[in-house]
Amino acid sequence: MDIVQLLIILPIVTLLGMIVAKKELHIKSVALAGSSLQLILAIILTTLYVQMRQAGAIAPYLFQSSYVWFAPLKIYFTSGIDGISLVMILMTALVVLSGVLVSWKINKQVKEFFFLLILLSLSAYGFFMTTNLFAMFFFLELAVIPKFLLIGMWGSGRKEYSSMKLALMLMAGSALVFLGMIGLFYESGMQSWDIQDIARLNIPIATQRVLYLLLFTGFGVFTAMFPFHTWAPDGHSSAPTAASMFLAGISMKLGGYGCLRVATYLLPGAAQELSWIFIILASIAIIYGAFATMMQKDLKYMNAYSSVSHVGFIILGIAMLTKVAITGAVMQMVSHGIMTALFFAAIGMIYDRAHTRQANELGGMLKQIPFIGAAFIVSGLTSLGLPGFSGFVSEMTIFVGSWEHAGIFYRVATILAAASIVVTAVYILRAVGFAIWGSITNKEFLKLKDATWSERTATVLLVLGILLIGLAPFLFVRLIDMDTTTIYQKLISGVLVH
């Protein structure tokens, strides 16, 4: 067993520890210890990965291992780490620990709640670390179960409707993904589900077109791609705070990662021919999401619709197929994962105290609860792409990479995406003005108390992640540069073959 396998073992041990624990504090402590060790393990893994690359390791994946899962169907649990999967694992570990800390006040069915949070983290680690398509599909499906239960049992508002809608739409996306993966397995002569084996195949372009549309659309549903985004606003707004952080921060990135790693990388010829479809859908999502956000007064709905706009940047960066745009898409996945987790955490803290999420019913939060108010402002400034924060470097990288494409179609899409920043600035500053700045409009708010130790710790961790990417993006790019180059070269070779 190597260090990568520990990312699966550790959540399982944490789950077993919570089953044994009896008292509420013990259950929370086990969850906190397990998620803390996950982040420490992810940091150690990053250090070892960098050392091996600097020592000259050139294999596409490091720390590779393979175990037989179901031999008759060639299903193996094959794992390995490259720079892209590594940054996704780091982001997951950070959001998981923050989600556990923010949920410290949970007192309803505590064991079940934290069990589902850790189960969700297990599915995310498995999805990002495996290189076997069947195992990837297994973990993608496994992630749907805790999402459904967390919203349905601990949610608010129309929680039953939202959880059911989320589950049905994601299951439909899963069906498309599964059909696409079956097609890839068939093209391998029914010999392998492994990404590296399939990447060496010369799949006919007619077959690629069908499989690419199935896989990109299926994974696109998971990342709330327009017009399959409708589960996201309802799901995010009904979910408890930690579940919202996980849904927007981690779960939506499973789809983006699949669009890049599976659909685009394994089917380069079709990607070159058909990516224009997803550029159009991404452009619509960016503009539609931004204007829909402007119409919202509920802070959770506001962040949910803004997420539709921001994940549109991810789809746009992937579909543009340039190396710089793909680099920006990966940066945006991580940046949005951390930023939106902080945003939902801040909104949840405000709601726990003020018992309202309506921006026009709040006011003066920075005076009464300055730490939480500052967290809201930082997440807002990251969302609108202010320099120094992660949103700026990721979105700018996508814009520059998209502009590299010659042709009026690509230039118009880039301009539309860039124009959305103005709309984003309007709704973010308006929300800050209503909810955070100004004088306290409700005397009851004078009794509010600022963040607890656990909420402060979660906030600091997330803000550090945002600042690290925003102020030192070169560290991030060094981690993923070799792998974005590999994907780009595969895209070029795909055109030459066909």
Tens-place pLDDT, residues 30-62? 999 999 999 999 999 999 999 999 998 989 999
pLDDT at 494: 61
Handedness of CA 119, 124, 129, 131 (dihedral sign): positive
* pTM higher than 0.85: yes
The predicted-structure confidence for 234-270, as pLDDT tens digits, reads as follows: 888 888 888 888 888 888 899 999 999 999 999 999 9
Region 271-295: what's the mean pLDDT?
93
Contact assessment for residue 154 and residue 113, using Cβ atoms and an 8 Å cutoff: yes
- The structure tokens listed for 249 are 């921060």
CA gap 379, 328 in Å, rounded: 19
User: Looking at residues 466-483, what average pLDDT do you find?
Assistant: 94
Contacts 24+ apart (CB under 8 A), 467-471: 467/388, 467/389, 467/390, 468/390, 469/331, 469/334, 469/335, 469/338, 469/390, 469/393, 469/394, 470/382, 470/387, 470/388, 470/389, 470/390, 470/391, 470/392, 470/393, 471/388
22: its two tokens: 């009896």
Is the pLDDT score of 466 beyond 90? yes
User: What is the C-alpha separation between 236 and 224, in angstroms, rounded?
Assistant: 11
Map tokens 């999420």 to a residue: 357
* Identity of residue 493: S
Which class for 47: exposed (0-12), middle (13-18), buried (19 or more C-beta within 10 A)?
A: exposed
State pLDDT tens for residues 81-122: 999 999 999 999 999 999 999 998 888 889 999 999 999 999
Residue 24, amino acid:
E
Average model confidence (pLDDT) across the chain: 91
The arithmetic mean of pLDDT across residues 193-211, rounded, is 94
The average pLDDT across 196-223 equals: 94
Rg (CA), the chain: 21
Residues with Cβ within 8 Å of residue 410, at least 6 apart in sequence: 279, 320, 402, 403
Phi first, then psi: what are they for 224, rounded to 5°?
60, 45
Taking 70 as the threshold, does the pLDDT of residue 498 lie above it? no
149 C-beta neighbours (distance < 10 Å), count:
20
**Among 248, 233, 302, which residue's Cα sits nearest to residue 99?**
248
Q: How high is the pLDDT of residue 273?
A: 94
Mean of pLDDT values over 276-299: 92
Task: Please name the residues in contact with 241: beta carbons below 8 A apart, sequence gap of 6 or more.
Answer: 99, 102, 103, 344, 345, 347, 348, 349, 351, 352
Residue 129 makes CB contacts below 8 A (sequence gap 6+) with: 4, 7, 8, 79, 80, 81, 85, 89
CA distance linking residue 358 with residue 340, whole number of Å: 18
pLDDT at residue 313 in the model: 95
pLDDT at 495: 56
For 380-419, what is each residue's pLDDT tens digit?
899 888 899 999 999 999 999 999 888 899 999 999 999 9
What percentage of residues in the chain have a pLDDT greater than 70? 99
Query: 65: which strand partners?
Result: 79
User: pLDDT band for position 436 (50/70/90)?
Assistant: confident
175 neighbors 140 (Cβ within 8 angstroms): no
Q: Are 93 and 10 in contact (CB under 8 A)?
A: no
Using 50, 70 and 90 to split pLDDT, how confident is the model at 13? very high
| Cα separation, 485 vs 482, whole angstroms | 5
Residues in Cβ contact with 286 at an 8 Å cutoff, skipping those fewer than 6 apart: 309, 312, 313, 316, 416, 417, 420
Confidence (pLDDT) at 1: 63
Q: Which amino acid is at 365?
A: M
User: What is d(CA 130, CA 108) in angstroms, rounded to the nearest whole number?
Assistant: 34
Please report the pLDDT score of residue 358 as a whole number: 87
Average pLDDT over residues 319-325: 95
The pLDDT assigned to 25 comes to 92
Do the Cβ atoms of 401 and 324 come closer than 8 Å? yes
The answer to whether residue 497 scores a pLDDT higher than 70 is no
Torsional class of 172: left (φ above 0), alpha (ψ -120 to 50), beta (otherwise):
alpha
Chain segment 122-134, per-residue pLDDT in tens: 999 999 999 999 9
pLDDT at 152: 85
